[in-house]
């Protein structure tokens, strides 16, 4: 056997070096509260709640609907409404460009979804805001969709549930057109409640600004998820304004329950059962 043939034979018999198998991305996530590293699938199966400390992670509007309402029972309303840029607003970038990017990134047309669905067999009108879309801030379309949903609930004598996840309050990009939505939705709720309707408001992390100062606080029953941030201005802004140290847990749902702002704190896994129980009790 020639040296060339021997070299070729040896090279054929030596297996190629094995590639190291890394951990696929996205299998593990870190908990913001207890700092534990968690298997994502376990967290998802628990409704996006940490199995170690019960920290409630962000969930999208679409996932909130799937978790709370009966399967395939939700009928979305007014999904053709899209935001405009009436002021030609520009800060670090043009508001019109921001809207296009947010719609592409989130797959949502706006920060709010409303419609009719069933919760454990009970018909209701349902609304939810999503902090992924410009922090869930309330622009003119958000206010219009919520107002129309309240008006349909009034007309059809259905219970109303709105889940708030808005950290941006009124959307400054639309100026007074955004601020007036606070009054518009609140007025619609007043008419609804005068007609005998039941409004259950669910506060999640975060519920801030003009949303907290208007419709989110007007429920006949106000529920909150554990350790949600709820308030008007953020705690750092409040502390720098009043120049005093804030109480421990200030603006958390636990602090607000203690001071009578919310009626009950409900774990995400129990939220559907609790809302169904309230509907039965208040509409019997």
The class that CATH gives domain 59-283 is: alpha beta
Q: Where are the alpha helices (DSSP H) in 90-230?
A: 95-106, 140-156, 176-194, 209-212
Q: Can you give the pTM of this predicted structure?
A: 0.88
Per residue in 224-264, pLDDT (tens digit) is 999 999 999 888 888 888 888 888 889 999 999 999 999 99
- Residue 64 CB contacts under 8 Å (≥ 6 apart), including other chains: 128, 163, 165
15: tokens are 């297996």
| Residue 2's pLDDT band (cuts 50, 70, 90) | low
Which tens digits make up the pLDDT trace of 67-92?
999 999 999 999 999 999 999 999 99
Q: Report domain extents, the chain.
A: 26-57, 59-283
pLDDT for the residue numbered 1: 59
Helix axes 61-68, 271-283, angle to 10 degrees: 60
The DSSP call for residue 77 is E
Vertex 196 angle, CA 116 and 194, to 5°: 110
Residue 40, number of CB atoms within 10 A of its CB: 12
The predicted structure's pLDDT at residue 245 = 86
Q: pLDDT confidence of 41, banded at 50, 70, 90?
A: very high
Q: What are the C-alpha distances in Å from 110 to residues 78, 89, 97?
A: 11, 17, 14
Three-state DSSP at 90 gives strand
Mean pLDDT value across residues 49-66: 94
CA distance 90 to 103: 18
HEC sequence for 40-71: HHHHHHCCCECCCCCCECCCCHHHHHHHHCCC
The neighbour count for residue 104, using CB atoms within 10 Å, is 9
């Amino acid at each position: 056997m020639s040296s060339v043939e021997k070299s070729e034979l040896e090279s054929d018999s030596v297996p190629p070096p094995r590639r190291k198998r890394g951990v696929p991305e996205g299998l593990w996530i870190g908990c913001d509260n207890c700092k534990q590293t968690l298997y994502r699938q376990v967290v998802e199966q628990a409704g996006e709640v940490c199995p170690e400390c019960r920290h409630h992670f962000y969930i999208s509007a679409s996932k909130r609907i799937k978790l709370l309402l009966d399967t395939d029972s939700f009928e979305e309303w007014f999904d053709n409404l899209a935001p405009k840029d009436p002021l030609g607003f520009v800060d670090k970038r043009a508001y019109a460009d921001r809207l296009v990017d947010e719609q592409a990134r989130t797959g949502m047309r706006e920060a709010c979804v409303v419609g009719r669905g069933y919760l454990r067999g009970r018909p209701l009108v349902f609304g939810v805001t999503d902090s992924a879309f410009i922090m869930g801030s309330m622009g003119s379309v958000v206010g219009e969709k919520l107002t129309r949903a309240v008006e349909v609930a009034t007309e059809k004598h259905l219970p109303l549930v709105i889940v708030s996840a808005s950290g941006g309050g009124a959307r400054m990009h639309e100026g007074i057109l955004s601020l007036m939505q606070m009054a518009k939705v609140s007025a619609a709720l007043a008419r609804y409640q005068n007609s005998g309707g039941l409004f259950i408001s669910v506060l999640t992390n975060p519920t801030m600004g003009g949303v907290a100062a208007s419709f989110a606080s007007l429920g006949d029953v106000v529920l909150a998820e554990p350790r949600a941030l709820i308030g008007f201005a953020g705690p750092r802004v409040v502390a720098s304004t009043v120049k005093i140290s804030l109480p421990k847990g200030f603006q958390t749902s636990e602090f607000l329950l203690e001071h009578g702002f919310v009626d009950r704190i409900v774990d995400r896994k129990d939220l559907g059962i609790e809302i169904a129980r309230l509907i039965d009790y208040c509409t019997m």
